[in-house]
Structure formats: C-alpha cells, structure tokens
Amino acid sequence: MKFLIVGDVVGKPGRRVLREKLSSLREELQIDAVIVNGENAAGGLGITPEVCEEILGYGVDVITTGNHIWDKKEIVAYIEHQPRLLRPLNYPDGVPGRGSLILEKGGKVWAVVNLSGRVFMPPLDCPFRRMEEELKHLHEETRLILVDFHAEASSEKIAMGWFLDGKVSCVFGTHTHVATADERILPQGTAYITDIGMTGAHDSVIGIEVADIVGRFLTQMPVKYRVAKENVKLNGIVVEVDDTTGKAQKIFRLSVPLAEHV
C-alpha cells in the first residue's frame, strides 16, 4: 500500500490547500490511503465536528490529533461517535474517543495509532508501554501499522522510532510544524521521520501571524493568535509498504505550494 500522510493542518489556509491538492496528489502518486493530522484545523487550535467532517469529505481516511484535541469543547461528545478521528492512545483510561483504528481498504487491512509524547508535553501515560500493549492485538489483525507520534522533543521521537523498528510500518512525528530532513528506513524495516511539517501558511511562526508571536515574546502578555495566510503549502510524506510483511519500501517528503494567497 502507498500512504499519503499530511502534516498538521492549520486553519482555513491549511484546509484549503488540502482540499485543492489532495485529489491530484492521489492520482499522480497513486495513493491508496490518506492520514491527516488535524488538531489545529479549526482556527489554528483544535478541531470541531464540522471541520472534521469537512476534512473527511475531501477523501481523508483517518484524522490524527495531539494535545490540542480538546480545545473545542464540542469535540468531546462528537469523538465518541466518529472512529476516524483519533486522540492520543496514551490518555488515561476513561477518556472519550480512541487512540487506534483498524481499517480495511481494497481488501487490505491496516491500522493507525496516535500517540503523544511526554517531554515538554502534558504528563500522559507512557507512550512506549501503551504502544507495546496495543501491538499485542493489532498484530493479530495486520502488520501494516502507521504511528503518529505527536511530540515536542526530537530525542523522544527518535527513541520511539528505534523502539518500534520492525514492529510497525512507519513512525512519523508531528506537533512542531517544522519538517525535518531525516526520513529513512530503519534496519528492521520501519520508515521513520522526526516531523512531517505543517500544512498551512509558511510566512508565519508555525502557522500564526508573525506579529502576534513576536509580540508575545517581547511583552510576555496574552495575545489573540491569528492564523497566517501567506505562502500556503501542504507538507507531508509518502510511505510505500509491503502488503504482506508490513515493512516499508520507500519514504519521501512532500512540500506542495498552493501558489496563491488565501
């Protein structure tokens, strides 16, 4: 299978470039399934039920998230009834929603897992141990497993890549909104990249207007963040996986410009 995995979608500009480019990318790259991180898709922070349905309507198979999943209060009830919207697996027991999903497409069974890091992040359960437990039942269904590790520290992400090498098809990092150039296939066949970047306005500070963020650093005063609009791009990766073994065969980065202002 060939997967397109799209980096954190930020606000309307991110949703627009996803909407306008996804169909052609699917056709050009012969994509079988699409995963999108959507935790910043509604106004730059969080996701709403309406925005979730909009993104799924573009032809996205699964939406992953991270620490901003609960920023919009209406998502709490909605996530219980929308299995294709994931929150990190390592939230404590009893939290609404789910952290993994097994899907079937074209006769092929595959799975997506969403994890959150703990370094400079909210203190959730251990992502390493929770993932280890989850693999016990996932491996009964499929070897094609893709993991969104939503984390701040590069070291924690790299450690997760090595920890899961040979156990999953791909470990891709999200959260920082800054794409890294360290994509590789690890020795036991797991594709890895520290961060797949951001889908949104790149003349910005990680998707937000420059003046807002600089002002906050200068004054340490509260600032209302505005989603930036200039130099919009879709960032992500394409991963090709052997259908039988679940081992990655290829991984490469994408940066696709909208080529106009939003």
- Quote the crossing angle between the two packed helices 127-138 and 154-163, to the nearest 10°: 30
Catalytic residue among 68, 137, 139, 261: 68
* Average pLDDT, integer, range 137-150: 98
State yes or no: pLDDT of 202 exceeds 80. yes
| 209 is known to lie in a ligand binding site | no
CB 63 within 8 A of CB 37: yes
Please give the pLDDT value at position 262. Answer: 46
State yes or no: pLDDT of 5 exceeds 80. yes
| Cα(10)–Cα(16) distance, integer angstroms | 10
**Residue 80 to residues 11, 26, 73, 94, 115, Cα–Cα distance (Å):** 23, 29, 13, 11, 18
* Average pLDDT, integer, range 15-40: 98
Going along the chain from its start, the domains and CATH numbers come out as 2-257 (3.60.21.10)
- Rounded to two decimals, the pTM is 0.96
Q: pLDDT digit string (tens) for 54-99?
A: 999 999 999 999 999 999 999 999 999 999 999 999 999 999 999 9
Please give the pLDDT value at position 259. Answer: 83
Please give the pLDDT value at position 213. Answer: 97
- Tokens matching residue 167: 């156990």
- What burial class does residue 165 get, using C-beta atoms within 10 Å of its C-beta: 0-12 exposed, 13-18 middle, 19+ buried? middle
| Cα(157)–Cα(159) distance, integer angstroms | 5
| 175 is known to lie in a ligand binding site | yes
Element (H, E) at 34: strand 33-37
Q: pLDDT digit string (tens) for 212-243?
A: 999 999 999 999 999 999 999 999 999 999 99
pLDDT tier for residue 260 given thresholds of 50, 70 and 90: low
Per the rule left: phi > 0, alpha: psi between -120 and 50, beta: everything else, 57 is alpha
| 39 is known to lie in a ligand binding site | yes
Q: Give the mean pLDDT of the chain.
A: 97
- Tokens matching residue 149: 């590790």
* Average pLDDT, integer, range 104-112: 96
| 67 is known to lie in a ligand binding site | yes
- The angle subtended at Cα 142 by Cα 138 and Cα 146, nearest 5°, is 75
* Average pLDDT, integer, range 135-154: 98
* Average pLDDT, integer, range 122-147: 98
| 165 is known to lie in a ligand binding site | no
Q: pLDDT digit string (tens) for 31-40?
A: 999 999 999 9
Query: What's at 234, amino acid-wise?
Result: L
Active site residue 68: yes
